[in-house]
Amino acid sequence: MKRSAWRYLWTSMDIRKKLLITLALLILYRLAANIPVPGINRSVIAGIFQQQGPASSLLGVFDLLSGGTLSNFSILAMGVYPYITAQIIIQLLIPIIPSLERRMKENPREGRKLMEKWTVFLTIPMAALSAIGQIQLFSQLTTSGSILHYQFGFTGTNLLPTLTTLISMIGGTMMGIWLGELISEYGIPNQGLSLIIFAGIVSRIPTNLYSLIVSGQSVALLFALMAVVLGLTIFAIIIVQQGRRNVPVLFPGRRMGNRMSMPVKSNLPLMVNLAGMIPLIFAQTILSLPGIIAQFFINSKTEWLAKFANWLQTTFSPNSIWYIITFFIFVLMLTFFYTEVLFEQQNYGDNLKRQGAQIPGVVRGAPTQNYLNKVQRRITLAGALFLAIVATLPYIFQISLPPSIGAGLFLVSASGLIIVVGVVRDTFNIIETELKLHGYEESLIKG
């Protein structure tokens, strides 16, 4: 009797062990997400998230990356966001600092280890700054009392409570990173941090579904519309995320005794969307800042300053058509910029030259890199347009449909949807690889 691939996941002891460890660690993470930061007033925090405006949009981005823990202001309120920020900073610094760039080219494996080491070191001060920034931002946004049961500060009797709060938040971030590393090492390989973020995103889906059900609209119509929108969007995400441009590469033949083998024809796959969802997060963060800054001057006694602050708040509100247009343009620009940075770090020209490989009709070395840069920029245009459309689609629905429908139609944000689809796809690929290593060739989708 033929055994199903899904059944083999459970009957194979090694794979079953990895899946159970992954599930146990994710449950532990979600339990820790409900432990509040010492001294926090959670009722005031809940009131801040019910407000509308640019600040709530920015907090929504942070809440997404923290796995929904920011709205609870738990010890995991920052999630793994400081680690992701540190990772991006290190990636952007490599082309700027010659010694780092030289180390990555000379010994990529040691260079990656050095990057990981410095990323962890940078995460600690980034987490501290992020914790202080979050507390200060929430304190400015509150209208119903203090978010803390004490005065935040580093003087007098407030020093110890302040340090306790900061250390618990930094410790929560490091705990999230540690759990992610444990998942990658003992559970599903190389998926730790992705699954940590994934678990937080999907944990909010039941709440959004409930909001749709109690919205007062036709439940059947809402679910039909949601199914169509989500189905088409997920289909488009899968197509674009898996999109590749295969550049033909000719590898030299190898000498085997007195004979020389024939050259090997292969392909260099270039991704349509190399930047992932990072441009969406950057664009939304940048566009939220003017509205947040404007809140500090909207009640200014200077008339022109108050009017300018009011104009900033109106223009950069997520319900504004100008916000949607600017967001679309920013996503396009940042996708090209981040793709350029990541692609330059791959250094395909020198790597292919060292292997003796050549793209037919293109000279080895710098000309090869220039050729690949042109190809990557052309296919990035399709990826950038896709990201910009997916990013702005929820906002378009929100202003064109009743608020109770448009706000929750996607169940999660555009960034969250891309993360969920990407993590599910990558996890399936990794599990299928594990099945093949155990001698089972049938696909999970077919099994």
Do residue 173 and residue 79 come from a single domain? Answer: yes
Distance in angstroms (rounded) separating the CA atoms of residues 230 and 156:
54
Q: How many alpha carbons lie under 13 Å from residue 259 in its C-beta half-sphere?
A: 4
Structure confidence by residue, pLDDT tens digits, 308-335: 888 887 777 767 788 888 889 998 998 9
pLDDT at 1: 42
Residue 336 covered by a domain? yes
Residue 136 covered by a domain? yes
User: Quick one: which of 201, 220, 353 has its CA closest to 277?
Assistant: 201
Residue 326 covered by a domain? yes
The label of the residue with tokens 């696909």 reads 443
Residue 447 covered by a domain? no
Do residue 142 and residue 16 come from a single domain? Answer: yes
Residue 442 covered by a domain? no
Do residue 222 and residue 102 come from a single domain? Answer: no
Distance in angstroms (rounded) separating the CA atoms of residues 315 and 322:
6
Note whether 368 and 349 are within 8 A (CB): yes
Do residue 33 and residue 125 come from a single domain? Answer: yes
With H, G, I as helix, E, B as strand and everything else as coil, classify residue 266: strand
Q: What are phi and psi of 346, to 5 degrees?
A: -65, -30
Distance in angstroms (rounded) separating the CA atoms of residues 212 and 208:
6
Do residue 186 and residue 212 come from a single domain? Answer: no
CA angle 198, 199, 203 (to 5 degrees): 115
Structure confidence by residue, pLDDT tens digits, 283-300: 877 777 777 677 677 777
Residue 437 covered by a domain? no
The label of the residue with tokens 């980034």 reads 126
Do residue 109 and residue 220 come from a single domain? Answer: no
With H, G, I as helix, E, B as strand and everything else as coil, classify residue 190: coil
**What beta strand segments (E) does 185-278 contain?**
244-251, 255-256, 259-260, 264-271
Note whether 344 and 239 are within 8 A (CB): no
Strand partners, 244: 271
- Is the pTM above the cut of 0.85? no
Do residue 213 and residue 115 come from a single domain? Answer: no
pLDDT at 447: 44
Residue 78 covered by a domain? yes
**DSSP per residue, 59-94:** HHHHHHHTTS-TTTTBTTTTTTHHHHHHHHHHHHHT
Residue 441 covered by a domain? no
pLDDT at 124: 92
The label of the residue with tokens 């990057």 reads 115
Residues of the chain predicted below pLDDT 70: 1-8, 51-58, 60-62, 64-68, 143, 208, 212, 215-219, 253-262, 292, 295, 318, 401-415, 441-447
Do residue 165 and residue 298 come from a single domain? Answer: no
Do residue 170 and residue 196 come from a single domain? Answer: yes
255-256 and 259-260 strand pairing: antiparallel
With H, G, I as helix, E, B as strand and everything else as coil, classify residue 268: strand
Do residue 172 and residue 316 come from a single domain? Answer: no
pLDDT at 174: 92
Distance in angstroms (rounded) separating the CA atoms of residues 337 and 322:
22
- CATH code at position 31: 1.10.3370.10
Structure confidence by residue, pLDDT tens digits, 181-229: 999 999 988 888 888 888 887 877 777 677 767 766 666 777 777 778 7
Query: What domain count does the chain have?
Result: 2
Do residue 54 and residue 144 come from a single domain? Answer: yes
**Burial class of 391 by CB neighbour count within 10 A (0 to 12, 13 to 18, 19+):** buried
Note whether 227 and 57 are within 8 A (CB): no
pLDDT at 329: 92
- Rounded alpha-carbon distances, angstroms, from residue 280 to 181, 191, 244, 319, 391: 25, 21, 21, 17, 7
Domain with 189 in it: 1-204
Do residue 269 and residue 185 come from a single domain? Answer: no
